[in-house]
């Protein structure tokens, strides 16, 4: 029996592996087709499964919220294009929570040969050799991997957290800051640590620029909602 080839998953800061694939929205040439965009590339184990169905309904409902932050969604599973189409049509017939008539407009990649899944380390033999686990890759406009999340097959993802991650990453990039635990838009952000004694002293004494320090190494500044 031929041994399954499993590639090493890319790491934070790596270039996102490039690929060409067929999807429910036509052919994808990544990252060329997504220049200047943030991307959430996520995998799910199989079509016509209940956890995945709730996730796709939620992603579809929130697609415009992600797009408002210049972020596109790409789904993937190791199923055929025809299975994808049939499943997405069925999703539109379902009603769950406050969601009904949900139409999935973002692409869902056909990956029967596991080419894309293996490039991203989505197939983990300890879980399954025939299904991609619930992986999430947040990729920035320079096609760099900025966040990686893995969930077990039984656990549905938290989509508010995925949106928060994108917003926080963009805030950190634009303002050259860091975000504290449980940060939400509008919360205070963290100023990078002082690089000299003089800067540390100045920050502790400065009260006029909207910043404040708990100690010399831990300084915040006020922020405004985007």
- Binding site feature residues for substrate: 134
Q: Distance between CA 139 and CA 45 in Å, rounded?
A: 21
Q: What is the SS3 string spanning 62-108? A: HHHHHHCCCEEEEEEECCCHHHHHHHHHHHHHCEECCEECCCCCCCE
Q: Which residues are annotated as a binding site?
A: 134
52 is known as an active-site residue = yes
Pinpoint the alpha helices (H) of 79-189: 81-93, 115-119, 159-175
- Lookup: tokens for 76: 């993937």
The active-site residue out of 52, 177, 197, 213 is 52
Q: Is 142 left (phi over 0), alpha (psi -120 to 50) or beta?
A: alpha
Annotated active-site positions, please? 52
């Amino acid at each position: 029996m031929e041994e399954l080839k499993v590639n090493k998953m890319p790491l934070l800061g790596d270039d996102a592996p490039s690929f060409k694939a067929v999807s429910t929205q036509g052919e994808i040439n990544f990252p060329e087709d997504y220049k200047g965009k943030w991307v959430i590339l996520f995998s799910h184990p199989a079509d016509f499964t209940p956890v995945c169905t709730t996730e796709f309904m939620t992603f579809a409902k929130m697609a415009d919220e992600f797009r408002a932050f210049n972020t596109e969604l790409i789904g993937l599973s190791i199923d055929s294009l025809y299975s994808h189409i049939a499943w997405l049509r069925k999703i539109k017939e379902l009603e769950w929570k406050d969601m009904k008539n949900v139409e999935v407009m973002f692409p869902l990649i056909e990956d029967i040969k596991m080419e894309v899944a293996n490039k991203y380390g989505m197939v983990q033999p300890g879980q399954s050799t025939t299904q991609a686990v619930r992986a999430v890759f947040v990729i920035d406009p320079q096609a760099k991997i900025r966040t990686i999340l893995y969930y077990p097959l039984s656990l549905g993802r938290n989509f508010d957290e995925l949106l928060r991650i994108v917003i926080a990453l963009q805030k950190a990039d634009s303002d050259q800051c860091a975000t504290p635990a449980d940060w939400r838009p509008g919360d205070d952000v963290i100023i990078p640590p002082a690089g000299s004694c003089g800067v540390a002293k100045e920050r502790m004494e400065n009260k006029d620029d909207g910043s404040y320090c708990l100690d010399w190494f831990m300084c915040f500044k006020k922020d405004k909602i985007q």
